Structure 1
Amino acid sequence: MLFEIIRNTPRWVFLLFIVLLITGYRQSRERTASRRSITILPAVFLVLALYGVVSAFGTDPVGLTLWAFGVTLSVALHLKLAIPRGVRFSPERQAFHLPGSWQPLIIMLAIFFAKYTVEVIRARQLPIADTAVFTAAVSLLYGLFSGVFLGRAMVMWRAAQLSQVRT
């Protein structure tokens, strides 16, 4: 059964997996980033997660509400815990200095495997795919995951604001 699932997986999915591995590995290293690059990843993951909810469940109000709740909860936790830590902003260079972290890779892979699993369940037309619990759980999970990247970006933007107030 597993071999059949992998065999029927479109080739672009494997390419996406490799791109995510490379992107996540790059984020595990200390680096500098512009405001623009800090904004792109959360925007992409928000759009993809919302698309994932709508493509899987339509415009179900419960699914969309739980997705938004997940995003909000994840962002609030990041702001409260100030994750990521150690972010510095250089007003002169208009760039962020970011410590390396494996968290983005872990989250990207968790999103990838969650989305892959949901699509396999839907493609195999398993009975669970039509339940309200499945819709609610997947919508909330997609929201929590995409909120991680938005929360991280908001912590970084806050670091930039604080550094500009100090100068």
Structure 2
Amino acid sequence: MLIEIIRNTPRWVFLLFIVLLVMGYQQSRDRTASRRSITLLPAAFLILALYGVVSAFGIDPVGLALWALGVALSVALHIKLGIPKGVRFFPERQTYYLPGNWQPLLIMLAIFFAKYTVEVIRARQLPITDTAEFAATVSLLYGLLSGIFLGRAVVIWRSAQLGRQLTKVSK
């Protein structure tokens, strides 16, 4: 059965998997990034997750609300914990220093495998796909996972505000 699933998987899915591995590896290394580049990743994953919910379950108010709740919970948790740690803002260059972290790779892979699993379940037309519990769980999961990237971005953006406040105080 597993071989059949893999055989029936479109080739572009394997390419996407490789792209995610490369992107995740890049995030594991210390780097500097612009506000724009920090914004692109969360925007992409939020759009893809929302599309995943709508394409799987239609425009269902409960599913959309659970997706939004998942996003909000992830963002709140990142703000509360201050994740990622060690971010610095350089106002003269308008860039952020980001210490390397494996978390983005793990989250990208979690999103990939969650979406892949849901699509396999849907393609096999398993009865669970017609239940409200499945739709609710998947919607919340997609929101929680994609919201992690937005939560990280919010913490990073806030580091610039903190840096500006500290600069004003020290003058």
TM-score by length of 1: 0.99
What is the rounded CA distance, in whole Å, between the counterparts of 2:138 and 2:112 in structure 1?
13
Q: Which amino acid aligns with 1:88?
A: R
Shift in Å, 1:165: 2.0
SS at match of 2:89: strand
Q: Which amino acid aligns with 2:147?
A: G
Q: Which amino acid aligns with 1:135?
A: A
Q: Which amino acid aligns with 1:156?
A: I
What is the rounded CA distance, in whole Å, between the counterparts of 1:82 and 1:15 in structure 2?
33
Aligned to 2:10: 10
Q: Which amino acid aligns with 1:78?
A: H
Q: Deviations over 1:40-75 (max 9, x none)?
A: 000000000000000000011110010000000000
Runs of 4+ in 1 over 3 A off after TM superposition: none
1:30 and 2:35 aligned: no
Q: Which amino acid aligns with 1:153?
A: A
Q: Which amino acid aligns with 1:76?
A: A
Shift in Å, 1:164: 1.5
Aligned to 2:57: 57
Shift in Å, 1:166: 2.1
SS at match of 2:119: helix
Q: Which amino acid aligns with 2:149?
A: F
Percent of pairs identical after alignment?
80
Shift in Å, 1:21: 0.1
SS at match of 1:97: strand
Shift in Å, 1:25: 0.2
Q: Which amino acid aligns with 1:104?
A: P
What is the rounded CA distance, in whole Å, between the counterparts of 1:51 and 1:44 in structure 2?
10
What is the rounded CA distance, in whole Å, between the counterparts of 1:98 and 1:73 in structure 2?
23
Shift in Å, 1:125: 0.1
Q: Which amino acid aligns with 1:84?
A: P
Aligned to 2:138: 138
What is the rounded CA distance, in whole Å, between the counterparts of 1:97 and 1:61 in structure 2?
39
What is the rounded CA distance, in whole Å, between the counterparts of 1:33 and 1:108 in structure 2?
19
Q: Which amino acid aligns with 2:130?
A: D
TM-score by length of 2: 0.97
What is the rounded CA distance, in whole Å, between the counterparts of 1:10 and 1:160 in structure 2?
42
SS at match of 2:97: strand
**What is the 5 A alignment of 1:118-157?**
118-157=118-157
Structure 2: segments with no counterpart, 5+ residues = none
1:66 and 2:58 aligned: no
Aligned to 1:80: 80
1:104 and 2:104 aligned: yes
SS at match of 1:101: coil
What is the rounded CA distance, in whole Å, between the counterparts of 1:76 and 1:165 in structure 2?
22
The alignment of Structure 1 onto Structure 2 pairs a total of residues equal to 167
1:164 and 2:164 aligned: yes
Shift in Å, 1:146: 0.8
